[in-house]
Amino acid sequence: MTENTVSNAVAVRDTGPGAMVEHYRADLAQVMPSHVKPDTFVRLAVGVLRRDKNLALAAQNNPAALMGALMDAAQLGLTPGTEQYYLVPRKQKGRLEIQGIRGYQGEIELIYRAGAVSSVIVEVVRQHDRFSYTPGRDERPLHEIDWDVEDRGALRLVYAYAVMKDGATSKVVVLNRAQVMKAKAMSQGSDSAYSPWQKHEEAMWMKTAAHRLTKWVPTSAEYMREQLRAQAEVATETRPAPAPQTPAQAPAPEHGEEGPIDAEFVDDEPAPQWPAAAQPPQ
């Protein structure tokens, strides 16, 4: 977001956060991927601000933070106020401000959008589940769940992997509780009552694993562009060369006429002039 957008956001704060988002519809549209509809994006953003009074207050306190989060969501092409992209209030210097946090569905969406995978699997493993995976021996984890049990127990593991378009399996990411808690501790505001870590713990475990998976699979549309470019180059190389064209033949000279002399210039010399007293011999 540009400095002008930030300063202007502060200038229109008194019109309300919803009106401010509407005011910057064009700015948001400029950074969105082509598949995102600006009208839908703005309507959803305004809707979540109107439904949550704490978010509305946080947006009013710091409109630049609100617009920064919405700009980030717009650039990624993710829907704000959903499990693709959370908008949460957090305390900053004693007052609420808005923080944007990418959710697990957002991480998965970015993987799918690159076009390299056919499916993405992200699951949590609870205490009473059966789970087995040995890297180098097993292609994919074995995860068995007793769906009849009333309580599957506490969260203990989370895993993620992708099935590529050619059928191959990506690297399998497996994280235990200690690893997830370490990631949580590094997340700003994770201990806040408003944090998705407090309200959507299972989803944040899945987000942590999905985010780790993005290191091993393409997540950018640039991958698709590279694929299309490579296909175009292959098509160009395999295209048959055009048949050489035979130059048009000049018409044969008529009887008694001389044809042109190739690669040679011939100057026309004037006929010799004989003095009147010295005529050429007859």
Helix (H, G, I), strand (E, B) or coil at 1: coil
CA distance 234 to 240: 12
How many CA atoms lie within 13 Å of 131's alpha carbon, on the beta-carbon side? 16
Confirm if 70 and 30 have CB atoms less than 8 A apart: no
What whole-number distance in Å separates Cα of residue 184 and Cα of residue 205? 9
Is the Cβ–Cβ distance between 155 and 124 less than 8 Å?
yes
Residues 89 and 65: beta-carbon distance below 8 Å: no
| Residue 271 region by backbone torsions, left for phi larger than 0, else alpha for psi between -120 and 50, else beta | beta
Q: pLDDT tens digits, the chain, 282 residues: what are they?
A: 444 554 454 444 446 788 989 999 999 999 999 889 999 999 999 999 999 999 999 999 999 999 999 999 999 999 999 999 999 999 888 899 999 999 999 999 999 998 999 999 999 999 999 999 999 999 999 999 999 999 999 999 999 999 999 999 999 999 999 999 999 999 888 888 889 999 999 999 999 999 999 999 987 655 555 555 666 666 666 566 565 565 555 555 554 444 443 333 334 444 445 444 444 444
How far apart (Å, rounded) are the C-alpha atoms in residues 117 and 170?
9
β-bridge partners, 80: 85
| Tally of CB atoms within 10 A around 204 | 24
Q: Measured between alpha carbons, how far is 29 from 78 in angstroms, rounded to an integer?
A: 13
Burial 73-91 (b: 16+ CB within 10 A, else e): bbebbbbbbebbbbbbbbe
Contacts of residue 134, Cβ cutoff 8 Å, sequence gap at least 6 = none
pTM of the full predicted structure? 0.71
DSSP string, 222-252: HHHHHHHHHHHHHHHHHSPPPPPPPPPPPPP
So what's the pLDDT on residue 220?
64
Structure tokens, 228: 């299309």
Q: Which two tokens stand for residue 99?
A: 């923080």
Strand partners, 113: none
pLDDT value of position 191: 87
Any bridge partners for residue 159, and if so which? 123, 174
Structure tokens at 93: 């210097």
The owner of tokens 């470019």 is 229
SS3 of residue 145 by DSSP? coil
> Do the Cβ atoms of 228 and 236 come closer than 8 Å?
no
Tell me whether residue 101 is exposed, middle or buried, using C-beta atoms within 10 angstroms of its C-beta: 0 to 12, 13 to 18, 19 or more.
buried
